[in-house]
A and B are shown apart, each in its own frame.
Chain A
Amino acid sequence: MDFLNAFIALSNFVIIPAVAYGSQLALGALGVTLIYGILRFSNFAHGDTMAFGAMVTVLVTWLFQSWGVSLGPLPTALLALPFGILGCMALVLTTDRIVYRFYRAQKAKPVIFVIVSLGVTFVLNGLVRFIIGPDDQRFLDGERFIISARTFREMTGLREGLAFKTTQGITILTAVIVVALLFWFLNRTRTGKSMRAYSDNEDLALLSGINPERVVMITWLIVAGLATIAGVLYGLDKSFKPFTYFQLLLPIFASAIVGGLGNPLGAIAGGFVIAFSEVTVTYAWKKVATYVLPESMAPDTLVQLLSTDYKLAVSFVILLIVLLVKPTGLFQGKAV
Protein backbone atom coordinates (compact mmCIF):
# COMPACT_ATOMS: atom_id res chain seq x y z
CA MET A 1 0.00 0.00 0.00
CA ASP A 2 1.27 3.37 -0.93
CA PHE A 3 -1.08 6.18 -0.07
CA LEU A 4 1.24 9.02 -1.01
CA ASN A 5 1.72 7.81 -4.57
CA ALA A 6 -1.98 7.04 -4.77
CA PHE A 7 -2.80 10.58 -3.69
CA ILE A 8 -0.38 12.08 -6.21
CA ALA A 9 -1.86 9.97 -9.01
CA LEU A 10 -5.33 11.01 -7.90
CA SER A 11 -4.40 14.69 -7.87
CA ASN A 12 -2.71 14.42 -11.22
CA PHE A 13 -5.51 12.70 -13.09
CA VAL A 14 -8.64 13.64 -11.15
CA ILE A 15 -8.39 16.55 -8.77
CA ILE A 16 -6.43 19.09 -10.80
CA PRO A 17 -8.19 18.47 -14.13
CA ALA A 18 -11.57 18.46 -12.39
CA VAL A 19 -10.88 21.72 -10.57
CA ALA A 20 -9.79 23.36 -13.82
CA TYR A 21 -12.76 21.99 -15.75
CA GLY A 22 -15.08 22.87 -12.87
CA SER A 23 -13.86 26.48 -12.95
CA GLN A 24 -14.58 26.67 -16.66
CA LEU A 25 -18.04 25.21 -16.18
CA ALA A 26 -18.71 27.50 -13.24
CA LEU A 27 -17.87 30.58 -15.32
CA GLY A 28 -20.11 29.32 -18.10
CA ALA A 29 -22.92 28.49 -15.70
CA LEU A 30 -22.64 31.92 -14.07
CA GLY A 31 -23.37 33.49 -17.45
CA VAL A 32 -26.39 31.25 -17.99
CA THR A 33 -27.70 31.83 -14.51
CA LEU A 34 -27.34 35.64 -14.74
CA ILE A 35 -29.29 35.71 -17.99
CA TYR A 36 -31.87 33.50 -16.38
CA GLY A 37 -32.12 35.70 -13.31
CA ILE A 38 -32.43 39.00 -15.15
CA LEU A 39 -33.88 38.19 -18.57
CA ARG A 40 -35.75 35.10 -17.38
CA PHE A 41 -34.97 32.60 -20.11
CA SER A 42 -32.49 29.79 -20.68
CA ASN A 43 -30.02 31.14 -23.17
CA PHE A 44 -29.19 28.34 -25.59
CA ALA A 45 -26.83 30.64 -27.43
CA HIS A 46 -24.46 30.78 -24.46
CA GLY A 47 -22.15 28.04 -25.74
CA ASP A 48 -21.78 29.79 -29.05
CA THR A 49 -21.34 33.16 -27.36
CA MET A 50 -18.37 31.55 -25.62
CA ALA A 51 -17.13 30.29 -28.97
CA PHE A 52 -17.46 33.75 -30.51
CA GLY A 53 -15.57 35.48 -27.71
CA ALA A 54 -12.87 32.82 -27.81
CA MET A 55 -12.65 33.15 -31.58
CA VAL A 56 -12.02 36.90 -31.41
CA THR A 57 -9.36 36.23 -28.78
CA VAL A 58 -7.75 33.58 -30.98
CA LEU A 59 -7.62 35.95 -33.93
CA VAL A 60 -6.12 38.78 -31.85
CA THR A 61 -3.63 36.30 -30.34
CA TRP A 62 -2.48 35.32 -33.81
CA LEU A 63 -2.10 39.00 -34.68
CA PHE A 64 0.04 39.58 -31.59
CA GLN A 65 2.08 36.48 -32.30
CA SER A 66 2.73 37.70 -35.84
CA TRP A 67 3.93 41.00 -34.36
CA GLY A 68 6.17 39.11 -31.99
CA VAL A 69 4.37 40.42 -28.91
CA SER A 70 4.30 37.87 -26.11
CA LEU A 71 3.94 37.56 -22.36
CA GLY A 72 7.01 35.36 -21.91
CA PRO A 73 6.02 32.25 -20.00
CA LEU A 74 2.32 33.15 -20.03
CA PRO A 75 0.13 32.55 -23.07
CA THR A 76 -0.29 35.56 -25.36
CA ALA A 77 -4.01 34.85 -25.29
CA LEU A 78 -4.21 36.60 -21.91
CA LEU A 79 -3.10 39.81 -23.61
CA ALA A 80 -5.70 39.31 -26.31
CA LEU A 81 -8.47 38.46 -23.84
CA PRO A 82 -9.66 42.07 -23.30
CA PHE A 83 -10.13 42.46 -27.04
CA GLY A 84 -12.08 39.22 -27.14
CA ILE A 85 -14.31 40.48 -24.34
CA LEU A 86 -14.89 43.76 -26.18
CA GLY A 87 -15.76 41.89 -29.37
CA CYS A 88 -18.14 39.63 -27.50
CA MET A 89 -19.77 42.59 -25.75
CA ALA A 90 -20.40 44.23 -29.09
CA LEU A 91 -21.93 40.98 -30.32
CA VAL A 92 -24.31 40.41 -27.41
CA LEU A 93 -25.44 44.05 -27.40
CA THR A 94 -26.16 43.79 -31.11
CA THR A 95 -28.15 40.58 -30.74
CA ASP A 96 -30.03 42.06 -27.80
CA ARG A 97 -30.83 45.18 -29.79
CA ILE A 98 -32.00 43.47 -32.98
CA VAL A 99 -33.38 40.21 -31.58
CA TYR A 100 -34.28 40.02 -27.92
CA ARG A 101 -35.46 43.56 -27.24
CA PHE A 102 -38.46 43.15 -29.51
CA TYR A 103 -39.70 40.13 -27.55
CA ARG A 104 -38.99 41.82 -24.24
CA ALA A 105 -41.19 44.73 -25.25
CA GLN A 106 -43.89 42.23 -26.21
CA LYS A 107 -43.51 40.43 -22.90
CA ALA A 108 -43.24 37.16 -24.86
CA LYS A 109 -43.36 33.81 -23.07
CA PRO A 110 -40.03 32.38 -21.93
CA VAL A 111 -40.31 29.52 -24.40
CA ILE A 112 -40.38 32.01 -27.29
CA PHE A 113 -37.14 33.48 -25.95
CA VAL A 114 -35.64 29.99 -25.85
CA ILE A 115 -36.57 29.35 -29.48
CA VAL A 116 -35.21 32.72 -30.50
CA SER A 117 -32.00 32.03 -28.62
CA LEU A 118 -31.74 28.75 -30.52
CA GLY A 119 -31.98 30.75 -33.72
CA VAL A 120 -29.21 33.03 -32.46
CA THR A 121 -27.19 29.90 -31.58
CA PHE A 122 -27.16 28.76 -35.16
CA VAL A 123 -26.45 32.19 -36.56
CA LEU A 124 -23.46 32.50 -34.22
CA ASN A 125 -22.36 28.95 -34.94
CA GLY A 126 -22.46 29.67 -38.66
CA LEU A 127 -20.65 32.97 -38.16
CA VAL A 128 -17.83 31.39 -36.14
CA ARG A 129 -17.39 28.55 -38.61
CA PHE A 130 -17.52 31.01 -41.48
CA ILE A 131 -14.79 33.20 -39.99
CA ILE A 132 -12.40 30.69 -38.46
CA GLY A 133 -13.48 27.36 -39.94
CA PRO A 134 -14.81 24.25 -38.21
CA ASP A 135 -11.42 22.74 -37.32
CA ASP A 136 -9.26 22.66 -34.22
CA GLN A 137 -7.20 25.83 -33.75
CA ARG A 138 -4.06 26.09 -31.67
CA PHE A 139 -3.34 29.39 -30.00
CA LEU A 140 -1.52 28.33 -26.85
CA ASP A 141 2.08 29.48 -26.39
CA GLY A 142 4.45 30.16 -23.50
CA GLU A 143 5.49 27.63 -20.86
CA ARG A 144 3.41 24.46 -21.00
CA PHE A 145 3.88 23.42 -17.38
CA ILE A 146 4.19 25.08 -14.01
CA ILE A 147 5.48 21.75 -12.73
CA SER A 148 6.03 18.95 -15.20
CA ALA A 149 5.69 15.32 -14.20
CA ARG A 150 9.41 14.72 -14.55
CA THR A 151 10.54 17.69 -12.42
CA PHE A 152 8.08 16.67 -9.76
CA ARG A 153 9.44 13.11 -9.69
CA GLU A 154 13.00 14.42 -9.48
CA MET A 155 12.07 16.89 -6.75
CA THR A 156 10.25 14.45 -4.52
CA GLY A 157 11.66 11.07 -5.50
CA LEU A 158 8.15 9.64 -5.74
CA ARG A 159 7.18 7.18 -8.44
CA GLU A 160 4.13 9.14 -9.54
CA GLY A 161 4.55 12.43 -11.35
CA LEU A 162 2.34 15.43 -10.75
CA ALA A 163 1.93 17.62 -13.79
CA PHE A 164 0.45 21.06 -13.29
CA LYS A 165 -0.21 22.74 -16.60
CA THR A 166 0.09 26.50 -16.94
CA THR A 167 -3.37 26.60 -18.43
CA GLN A 168 -4.80 24.84 -15.39
CA GLY A 169 -3.08 27.29 -13.05
CA ILE A 170 -4.33 30.25 -15.07
CA THR A 171 -7.83 28.81 -15.23
CA ILE A 172 -8.12 28.37 -11.48
CA LEU A 173 -6.55 31.74 -10.68
CA THR A 174 -8.66 33.62 -13.21
CA ALA A 175 -11.83 31.93 -12.05
CA VAL A 176 -11.15 32.94 -8.44
CA ILE A 177 -10.47 36.56 -9.42
CA VAL A 178 -13.47 36.79 -11.73
CA VAL A 179 -15.85 35.24 -9.22
CA ALA A 180 -14.57 37.52 -6.44
CA LEU A 181 -15.03 40.56 -8.67
CA LEU A 182 -18.49 39.45 -9.71
CA PHE A 183 -19.67 38.93 -6.15
CA TRP A 184 -18.17 42.21 -5.05
CA PHE A 185 -20.03 43.87 -7.89
CA LEU A 186 -23.35 42.16 -7.17
CA ASN A 187 -23.24 42.70 -3.42
CA ARG A 188 -21.44 45.99 -2.92
CA THR A 189 -22.08 48.33 -5.83
CA ARG A 190 -25.26 50.22 -6.50
CA THR A 191 -25.62 48.79 -10.00
CA GLY A 192 -25.08 45.27 -8.73
CA LYS A 193 -27.71 45.75 -6.05
CA SER A 194 -30.16 47.08 -8.61
CA MET A 195 -29.51 43.97 -10.68
CA ARG A 196 -30.29 41.71 -7.75
CA ALA A 197 -33.38 43.71 -6.94
CA TYR A 198 -34.56 43.41 -10.53
CA SER A 199 -33.94 39.68 -10.44
CA ASP A 200 -35.84 39.24 -7.18
CA ASN A 201 -38.91 41.25 -8.06
CA GLU A 202 -39.20 43.01 -11.36
CA ASP A 203 -42.26 45.14 -10.57
CA LEU A 204 -40.95 46.33 -7.25
CA ALA A 205 -37.62 47.21 -8.85
CA LEU A 206 -39.37 49.21 -11.56
CA LEU A 207 -41.38 51.09 -8.94
CA SER A 208 -38.25 52.06 -7.10
CA GLY A 209 -36.93 53.70 -10.24
CA ILE A 210 -34.51 51.11 -11.59
CA ASN A 211 -34.08 51.46 -15.33
CA PRO A 212 -34.74 47.98 -16.74
CA GLU A 213 -32.97 48.53 -20.05
CA ARG A 214 -29.83 49.61 -18.19
CA VAL A 215 -29.95 46.52 -15.97
CA VAL A 216 -30.38 44.32 -19.03
CA MET A 217 -27.50 45.99 -20.81
CA ILE A 218 -25.15 45.62 -17.88
CA THR A 219 -26.16 41.99 -17.50
CA TRP A 220 -25.32 41.32 -21.14
CA LEU A 221 -21.95 43.07 -20.73
CA ILE A 222 -21.08 40.95 -17.69
CA VAL A 223 -22.28 37.80 -19.41
CA ALA A 224 -20.16 38.60 -22.46
CA GLY A 225 -17.13 38.97 -20.20
CA LEU A 226 -17.83 35.73 -18.36
CA ALA A 227 -18.55 33.84 -21.57
CA THR A 228 -15.38 35.02 -23.27
CA ILE A 229 -13.21 34.22 -20.27
CA ALA A 230 -14.78 30.79 -19.90
CA GLY A 231 -14.45 30.14 -23.63
CA VAL A 232 -10.81 31.22 -23.79
CA LEU A 233 -9.85 29.25 -20.68
CA TYR A 234 -11.53 26.15 -22.07
CA GLY A 235 -9.87 26.70 -25.43
CA LEU A 236 -6.44 27.11 -23.82
CA ASP A 237 -6.88 24.05 -21.61
CA LYS A 238 -8.31 21.72 -24.27
CA SER A 239 -8.37 23.24 -27.74
CA PHE A 240 -10.52 25.67 -29.66
CA LYS A 241 -13.07 23.94 -31.86
CA PRO A 242 -16.41 25.62 -32.59
CA PHE A 243 -18.55 22.50 -32.23
CA THR A 244 -17.27 21.60 -28.75
CA TYR A 245 -18.77 24.80 -27.41
CA PHE A 246 -22.21 23.76 -28.56
CA GLN A 247 -21.68 20.45 -26.77
CA LEU A 248 -20.59 22.29 -23.60
CA LEU A 249 -24.14 23.61 -23.38
CA LEU A 250 -25.42 20.49 -21.64
CA PRO A 251 -22.85 20.39 -18.80
CA ILE A 252 -23.23 24.16 -18.38
CA PHE A 253 -27.00 23.96 -18.07
CA ALA A 254 -26.67 20.96 -15.80
CA SER A 255 -24.31 22.97 -13.56
CA ALA A 256 -26.65 25.94 -13.43
CA ILE A 257 -29.70 23.77 -12.67
CA VAL A 258 -27.93 21.57 -10.11
CA GLY A 259 -26.96 24.71 -8.23
CA GLY A 260 -30.34 26.33 -8.73
CA LEU A 261 -31.04 28.44 -11.84
CA GLY A 262 -30.73 32.12 -11.11
CA ASN A 263 -28.45 31.66 -8.13
CA PRO A 264 -24.80 32.68 -8.81
CA LEU A 265 -23.40 30.78 -5.83
CA GLY A 266 -25.27 27.70 -6.97
CA ALA A 267 -23.81 28.00 -10.46
CA ILE A 268 -20.29 27.76 -9.06
CA ALA A 269 -21.10 24.81 -6.81
CA GLY A 270 -22.95 23.13 -9.68
CA GLY A 271 -19.96 23.56 -11.99
CA PHE A 272 -17.70 21.70 -9.58
CA VAL A 273 -20.28 18.99 -8.86
CA ILE A 274 -20.64 18.28 -12.57
CA ALA A 275 -16.90 18.46 -13.28
CA PHE A 276 -15.92 16.15 -10.42
CA SER A 277 -18.63 13.63 -11.26
CA GLU A 278 -17.66 13.64 -14.90
CA VAL A 279 -13.96 13.16 -14.26
CA THR A 280 -14.30 10.55 -11.51
CA VAL A 281 -16.83 8.49 -13.44
CA THR A 282 -14.82 8.44 -16.65
CA TYR A 283 -11.37 8.05 -15.02
CA ALA A 284 -9.68 4.65 -15.14
CA TRP A 285 -9.00 3.96 -11.45
CA LYS A 286 -6.56 1.11 -12.01
CA LYS A 287 -3.47 3.11 -11.12
CA VAL A 288 -4.83 4.53 -7.89
CA ALA A 289 -6.34 1.19 -6.90
CA THR A 290 -3.03 -0.62 -7.42
CA TYR A 291 -1.38 1.75 -4.96
CA VAL A 292 -4.08 1.61 -2.31
CA LEU A 293 -5.10 -2.04 -2.38
CA PRO A 294 -2.86 -4.87 -1.22
CA GLU A 295 -1.04 -6.57 -4.08
CA SER A 296 -3.27 -9.63 -4.11
CA MET A 297 -6.34 -7.51 -4.71
CA ALA A 298 -4.84 -5.36 -7.47
CA PRO A 299 -7.38 -5.00 -10.29
CA ASP A 300 -6.59 -6.40 -13.72
CA THR A 301 -9.12 -4.24 -15.56
CA LEU A 302 -9.07 -0.48 -16.03
CA VAL A 303 -11.69 0.08 -13.30
CA GLN A 304 -13.35 2.70 -15.48
CA LEU A 305 -17.00 3.17 -14.70
CA LEU A 306 -17.92 4.73 -18.04
CA SER A 307 -15.96 5.30 -21.22
CA THR A 308 -15.05 8.95 -21.86
CA ASP A 309 -17.43 8.95 -24.82
CA TYR A 310 -20.25 9.12 -22.29
CA LYS A 311 -19.07 12.25 -20.49
CA LEU A 312 -22.29 13.94 -21.53
CA ALA A 313 -24.34 11.16 -20.00
CA VAL A 314 -22.92 12.02 -16.58
CA SER A 315 -24.18 15.60 -16.61
CA PHE A 316 -27.43 14.40 -18.06
CA VAL A 317 -28.06 11.79 -15.36
CA ILE A 318 -27.23 14.30 -12.64
CA LEU A 319 -29.59 16.75 -14.29
CA LEU A 320 -32.39 14.18 -14.35
CA ILE A 321 -31.84 13.26 -10.72
CA VAL A 322 -31.92 16.90 -9.64
CA LEU A 323 -35.07 17.56 -11.67
CA LEU A 324 -36.72 14.53 -10.10
CA VAL A 325 -35.63 15.06 -6.52
CA LYS A 326 -35.09 18.77 -6.06
CA PRO A 327 -36.01 20.86 -9.10
CA THR A 328 -35.02 24.11 -7.41
CA GLY A 329 -31.42 22.90 -7.15
CA LEU A 330 -29.03 22.70 -4.25
CA PHE A 331 -29.08 26.42 -3.52
CA GLN A 332 -32.76 27.28 -3.95
CA GLY A 333 -32.84 28.78 -7.41
CA LYS A 334 -35.77 30.77 -8.70
CA ALA A 335 -37.16 28.21 -11.08
CA VAL A 336 -39.65 25.46 -10.34
Chain B
Amino acid sequence: MIKSDVQLDAKGLACPMPIVKTKKAMGNLTEGQVLEIQATDKGSVADLAAWSKTVGHQYIGTNEENGVFYHYIRKCNPEVSEAVEKSFEQTISNEGAIKEEGIILDVREAAEYAFGHIPGAKSIPMGELSERMNELDKAQTIYVICRTGTRSDLAAQQLAKAGFTNVYNVLPGMSGYEGELQKEVE
Protein backbone atom coordinates (compact mmCIF):
# COMPACT_ATOMS: atom_id res chain seq x y z
CA MET B 1 0.00 0.00 0.00
CA ILE B 2 1.20 3.45 -0.85
CA LYS B 3 0.86 5.95 1.96
CA SER B 4 -1.63 8.77 1.48
CA ASP B 5 -3.32 11.30 3.74
CA VAL B 6 -6.91 10.84 2.65
CA GLN B 7 -8.57 7.98 0.77
CA LEU B 8 -11.59 8.29 -1.49
CA ASP B 9 -13.63 5.30 -2.56
CA ALA B 10 -15.04 5.87 -6.04
CA LYS B 11 -15.20 2.19 -6.98
CA GLY B 12 -18.15 1.19 -9.11
CA LEU B 13 -18.87 4.78 -10.10
CA ALA B 14 -19.02 5.74 -13.75
CA CYS B 15 -17.69 8.90 -15.28
CA PRO B 16 -18.11 11.80 -14.31
CA MET B 17 -18.54 10.78 -10.66
CA PRO B 18 -14.90 9.84 -9.86
CA ILE B 19 -13.80 13.34 -10.83
CA VAL B 20 -16.76 15.11 -9.25
CA LYS B 21 -15.95 13.34 -5.95
CA THR B 22 -12.23 13.95 -6.31
CA LYS B 23 -12.78 17.65 -6.80
CA LYS B 24 -14.89 17.80 -3.65
CA ALA B 25 -12.41 15.76 -1.62
CA MET B 26 -9.46 17.90 -2.74
CA GLY B 27 -11.27 20.91 -1.34
CA ASN B 28 -10.93 19.48 2.15
CA LEU B 29 -7.22 18.66 1.91
CA THR B 30 -4.51 21.03 3.02
CA GLU B 31 -1.77 21.93 0.59
CA GLY B 32 0.84 19.24 0.17
CA GLN B 33 -1.42 16.41 1.28
CA VAL B 34 -1.89 13.37 -0.91
CA LEU B 35 -5.31 11.98 -1.89
CA GLU B 36 -5.73 8.39 -2.93
CA ILE B 37 -8.68 7.77 -5.25
CA GLN B 38 -9.85 4.21 -5.72
CA ALA B 39 -11.79 3.83 -8.95
CA THR B 40 -12.86 1.09 -11.33
CA ASP B 41 -13.76 3.33 -14.28
CA LYS B 42 -10.99 3.00 -16.86
CA GLY B 43 -11.63 6.50 -18.11
CA SER B 44 -10.55 7.82 -14.71
CA VAL B 45 -6.89 7.18 -15.56
CA ALA B 46 -6.56 9.71 -18.36
CA ASP B 47 -9.18 12.08 -16.97
CA LEU B 48 -7.75 12.44 -13.47
CA ALA B 49 -4.30 13.15 -14.88
CA ALA B 50 -5.68 15.75 -17.30
CA TRP B 51 -7.94 17.33 -14.66
CA SER B 52 -5.06 17.62 -12.17
CA LYS B 53 -3.00 19.38 -14.77
CA THR B 54 -5.68 21.94 -15.61
CA VAL B 55 -6.39 22.82 -11.98
CA GLY B 56 -2.72 22.76 -10.98
CA HIS B 57 -2.61 19.79 -8.64
CA GLN B 58 0.22 17.32 -8.91
CA TYR B 59 -0.85 14.03 -10.43
CA ILE B 60 1.60 11.55 -8.97
CA GLY B 61 0.56 8.33 -10.63
CA THR B 62 -1.81 5.40 -10.87
CA ASN B 63 -1.32 1.84 -9.75
CA GLU B 64 -3.67 -0.93 -10.84
CA GLU B 65 -4.40 -3.87 -8.58
CA ASN B 66 -7.06 -6.50 -9.28
CA GLY B 67 -9.09 -4.25 -11.52
CA VAL B 68 -9.00 -1.28 -9.15
CA PHE B 69 -7.11 1.87 -10.05
CA TYR B 70 -5.36 3.64 -7.19
CA HIS B 71 -4.71 7.21 -8.22
CA TYR B 72 -2.53 9.60 -6.23
CA ILE B 73 -2.85 13.36 -6.40
CA ARG B 74 -1.02 15.89 -4.26
CA LYS B 75 -2.80 19.10 -3.53
CA CYS B 76 -0.96 22.13 -4.80
CA ASN B 77 -1.60 25.78 -4.88
CA PRO B 78 0.62 26.74 -7.79
CA GLU B 79 0.37 30.47 -7.21
CA VAL B 80 1.67 30.13 -3.67
CA SER B 81 4.27 27.37 -3.91
CA GLU B 82 6.00 28.62 -7.05
CA ALA B 83 6.39 32.07 -5.52
CA VAL B 84 8.18 30.92 -2.37
CA GLU B 85 11.77 32.03 -2.39
CA LYS B 86 14.44 29.52 -1.68
CA SER B 87 16.84 30.74 0.99
CA PHE B 88 19.19 27.88 1.80
CA GLU B 89 22.53 28.91 0.44
CA GLN B 90 24.34 25.66 -0.20
CA THR B 91 22.92 24.24 -3.40
CA ILE B 92 24.07 21.64 -5.91
CA SER B 93 22.83 20.47 -9.31
CA ASN B 94 21.01 17.16 -9.79
CA GLU B 95 24.06 15.76 -11.58
CA GLY B 96 26.41 16.95 -8.85
CA ALA B 97 24.37 15.34 -6.09
CA ILE B 98 24.35 12.01 -7.89
CA LYS B 99 28.08 12.07 -8.61
CA GLU B 100 29.42 13.23 -5.25
CA GLU B 101 29.92 11.16 -2.12
CA GLY B 102 26.99 11.36 0.31
CA ILE B 103 23.36 10.41 0.59
CA ILE B 104 20.40 11.71 -1.35
CA LEU B 105 17.53 12.51 0.98
CA ASP B 106 14.17 12.61 -0.82
CA VAL B 107 11.71 14.69 1.22
CA ARG B 108 8.72 14.32 -1.08
CA GLU B 109 5.60 12.45 0.05
CA ALA B 110 5.76 8.65 0.20
CA ALA B 111 3.52 8.32 -2.86
CA GLU B 112 5.73 10.60 -4.95
CA TYR B 113 8.77 8.58 -3.90
CA ALA B 114 6.98 5.31 -4.71
CA PHE B 115 6.24 6.37 -8.30
CA GLY B 116 9.90 7.13 -9.04
CA HIS B 117 13.02 8.24 -7.26
CA ILE B 118 16.75 8.33 -7.81
CA PRO B 119 18.14 4.84 -7.17
CA GLY B 120 19.47 4.61 -3.61
CA ALA B 121 17.76 7.79 -2.38
CA LYS B 122 16.48 7.69 1.18
CA SER B 123 12.86 8.71 1.78
CA ILE B 124 11.82 10.89 4.68
CA PRO B 125 8.80 13.01 3.79
CA MET B 126 9.11 16.63 4.84
CA GLY B 127 6.41 16.30 7.48
CA GLU B 128 8.25 13.46 9.23
CA LEU B 129 11.72 14.97 9.13
CA SER B 130 11.84 16.42 12.65
CA GLU B 131 10.94 13.06 14.25
CA ARG B 132 13.16 10.98 12.01
CA MET B 133 16.36 13.03 12.04
CA ASN B 134 18.04 10.35 14.17
CA GLU B 135 18.04 8.13 11.05
CA LEU B 136 20.59 10.49 9.51
CA ASP B 137 24.34 10.59 10.13
CA LYS B 138 25.78 14.05 10.85
CA ALA B 139 29.16 12.99 9.49
CA GLN B 140 27.68 12.32 6.03
CA THR B 141 27.03 14.83 3.30
CA ILE B 142 23.28 15.08 2.71
CA TYR B 143 21.79 16.15 -0.62
CA VAL B 144 18.18 17.08 -0.01
CA ILE B 145 15.87 16.74 -3.00
CA CYS B 146 12.16 17.25 -3.68
CA ARG B 147 10.20 17.99 -6.85
CA THR B 148 11.07 21.63 -7.46
CA GLY B 149 13.47 22.59 -4.69
CA THR B 150 10.98 24.31 -2.37
CA ARG B 151 10.39 21.60 0.17
CA SER B 152 14.03 20.56 0.08
CA ASP B 153 14.98 24.17 0.81
CA LEU B 154 12.93 24.11 4.00
CA ALA B 155 14.21 20.65 4.91
CA ALA B 156 17.81 21.76 4.42
CA GLN B 157 17.24 24.73 6.71
CA GLN B 158 15.69 22.45 9.30
CA LEU B 159 18.65 20.09 9.14
CA ALA B 160 21.15 22.93 9.41
CA LYS B 161 19.35 24.27 12.46
CA ALA B 162 19.59 20.81 14.03
CA GLY B 163 23.35 20.83 13.62
CA PHE B 164 23.89 19.10 10.29
CA THR B 165 26.73 20.89 8.57
CA ASN B 166 27.19 19.14 5.21
CA VAL B 167 23.76 19.81 3.73
CA TYR B 168 22.92 20.83 0.16
CA ASN B 169 19.65 21.69 -1.52
CA VAL B 170 19.48 19.90 -4.89
CA LEU B 171 18.24 22.03 -7.79
CA PRO B 172 16.17 21.89 -9.93
CA GLY B 173 15.05 18.68 -8.19
CA MET B 174 13.09 15.69 -9.49
CA SER B 175 11.13 17.79 -11.95
CA GLY B 176 14.36 18.20 -13.92
CA TYR B 177 15.67 14.68 -13.44
CA GLU B 178 15.79 12.51 -16.55
CA GLY B 179 17.96 9.65 -15.35
CA GLU B 180 17.05 6.16 -14.24
CA LEU B 181 14.14 5.91 -11.83
CA GLN B 182 13.59 3.33 -9.15
CA LYS B 183 9.94 2.57 -8.44
CA GLU B 184 8.07 0.88 -5.63
CA VAL B 185 5.10 0.19 -7.88
CA GLU B 186 4.83 -1.94 -10.98
A, B bound: no
Residues of B within 8 A of A (CB): none
Contact surface of A with B, Cβ cutoff 8 Å: none
